[in-house]
Structure formats: C-alpha cells, structure tokens
Structure 1
Amino acid sequence: MWKLFRKTYTDEERETFEFLSEIKLFERLTEKEMHLFLPYMYTRNYKVNEAVFFRNDPSRALYLVKEGRVALSLDIEDKFEVLTNLKRGQHFGDNTLLLHSRRLYNAVVRSEKAVLIVLPQVSIYEIFEEHPAIKAKMMTSLAEQYNEYTRNLFRAYKATFGFFNLGQAYLNS
C-alpha cells in the first residue's frame, strides 16, 4: 500500500540525483528535496578558454561541473593566478547563496568543452523561502566548505610564513 503513494522518478531524474549527490552543497538533501531544483536547472555548453564569469561580476547563479574542466583564477594586475581546476562533481559560484554578493574570482573553461549545469540565484531563493530546511542544509554545507577554505588558507600561510600579512584578511571585518 505504501508504494502506491510514493513518488517515482524517471531514470534521467535518478541520474541527476546521483550527480547532485556528488556535489558538496547537495549532499545532505533527499531525492525529494533535490527534485525541487530540477525545473530550474539548465545546461550550458562552453568551449576552451570561454569565460563563465569574471571577478566582481554579480553572483547570480550556481554552476555545477558535469563535464570538462574549469579554472578559477585571480587577476592581479595583468596576470592571472590559478587557484584551482575543477572537474565533474564540483561546483563554483557558491557565493550566489549569499544575497547581493559579487564574484571573488574568474571562472574560465580549460578543457576542449565543458558542460555546466546552471542554477539561477532567484530560483534557489524561491526554494529557500518555501523550504527553510533545505536552506539550512545547504547553508551548513556552505559553512563547512568556507571553513575548509579558511583552514587551507591558514595552512598555506604557515608554509610561507611572512610572505603576506594575514592580518589584512581581517581588516574589513
């Protein structure tokens, strides 16, 4: 009797849930919760060296890497320093979960092609307003991720002690 009223998902939806489960921001969500995002997700295809966004652009979407590689970099004067290269199952543009934020880095495709799943900020916040438990789960994942970024920053600082003034990171707090 219970199975009669249980939601069934298509193979394509199940494949998407499996993909989303690989992504830190979605790892705490149930299939039912993930399903709420599906109507808002769309696929974008990019070519090598194509910019997804630039530093200081408004943060208006979250990007999930389905295929290919994307480099995140900082532009310092006329040079670009690569922070990391992302691959399938990773996401970027996560500060879109914070209203009125701007991009902190550049995102440029480094593989011959990349397939990205795009989730607009307005859609994310629509779901958050209707489902505060989803917001809590995703914001917890975001906080854990930012904590890991901070831990890595401190580790890098210790390894190159004196190379830069870590106190400057807290001046505008």
Structure 2
Amino acid sequence: MYNPFKKRYNSDELALFKFLSDIKQFEHLNEDELSLFTPYMYLRKYKQNEVVFFSGDPSHALYIVKKGTVSLSISIKDEFEELAQVDSGHCFGDNSFIDGATRIYNSLVISEQAEIYVIPQINLMDILENHLEIKAKVMASIVALYNDYNRNIFKEYKSNLGFFQLGNVYRHNP
C-alpha cells in the first residue's frame, strides 16, 4: 500500500544505500536503517603508502573503501605479513563494533590513491544501542564473517599440518 508520508530518497542516497548493502556488515539492512549511518560517513582521501591505522591503536572507527586498495598486515619479527587486500565495497576495522578494542593489524593504502568512508565508533555504538533490530542484523553478519574466518583457519591448518600462511586464512573467500 502506498504511504505518502514515507521518506523518499534521492538518487545519490539510493546509490550510497546500494553500495552499503553490498557490504557484509550492512547487507541485511533496509534503506531506512542504512540512512541512520550516512550522516556519520565521512569521506577521507588517502595517498599511496599512507597508514590508516597501526596495530595497537584504539579502534575508534569503521572504514569502508569507496575507491582504492588497502593492505591489512601484521608485524612478525620486523617484517609485515599481509593478511588481505581490501578494495572498493569492503570494510575493515570492524572491531570498532567492540567497545574498548584496539587494532589487531596494520592498514596501509597501496593504491595510488584511496577514498575511504570513516564512521566514528561513537556514532556506530549510538545507532546500535538505540536501534536493537539494526544491532541484531549487523551482529548476525559479523558473526557470519567470523565463522568464515574460523573455517578458513581450520581448513588452512589441516591442509598444511599446522604450518600455514595467515594471509590464506583472512582472505574474503568462504
């Protein structure tokens, strides 16, 4: 049934909702739910070799790649082991959904330039605390992601008899 009072979105907003709905953490949210996040999405431009954050930094924001590529890595004996490369339509820093968390990996822009949406943790938490249905949907998606990560850990561990490449575990291939 047609509701003349239902909010209507312009083409830019609809394009942003489509972009967000393709991201695992937001895939189950409808337009009205996604619209709660958009006022807090700050587009930031990065240059090649610019650090987004280091391991150990406070987890104060969620990052969504609009354009470009970001390398996620951990430090092992003064070397960096790449876990994954994150490009357009993917997010990283999702431990910002955990209050008081710190970063567990480094993130570095490896493309010539990158455009990344930054959603501050304080705004994420405010939305989730005030909209329990959204919180349930987002958390269900995050649990599914972590289940995939665990599946990859066990698969990689079994196939390499305990010796495995962490990069093969973290990649986005369930």
Superposition TM-score, scaled by structure 1 size: 0.92
Deviations 1:29-88 (A, max 9, x none): 000000011111110100001000001111110000100000000111210001111111
Aligned to 1:162: 162
- Distance in structure 2 (CA, Å) of the matches to 1:91 and 1:37: 14
Secondary structure at 2:117's aligned position in 1?
strand
Aligned to 1:125: 125
How far apart are 1:3 and its partner, in Å?
3.7
Aligned to 1:56: 56
Ranges of 4+ aligned residues in structure 1 off by more than 4 Å:
none
Secondary structure at 1:117's aligned position in 2?
strand
- Distance in structure 2 (CA, Å) of the matches to 1:128 and 1:3: 27
**Structure 1: tracts of 5 or more residues without a match:** 165-173
Q: Does 1:100 align with 2:100?
A: yes
- Distance in structure 1 (CA, Å) of the matches to 2:49 and 2:4: 50
- Distance in structure 1 (CA, Å) of the matches to 2:162 and 2:130: 48
What code does the residue aligned with 1:35 have? S
Q: Percent identity?
A: 50
Superposition TM-score, scaled by structure 2 size: 0.91
What code does the residue aligned with 2:53 have? F
**Structure 2: tracts of 5 or more residues without a match:** 165-174
How far apart are 1:162 and its partner, in Å?
3.2
- Within-5 A mapping of 1:24-173: 24-163=24-163
How far apart are 1:2 and its partner, in Å?
2.8
Secondary structure at 1:56's aligned position in 2?
coil
What number of residue pairs does the alignment pair up?
Answer: 164
Secondary structure at 2:4's aligned position in 1?
helix
Q: CA RMSD in A?
A: 1.2
Aligned to 2:171: none
- Distance in structure 2 (CA, Å) of the matches to 1:39 and 1:87: 22
What code does the residue aligned with 1:158 have? K
- Distance in structure 2 (CA, Å) of the matches to 1:110 and 1:24: 23
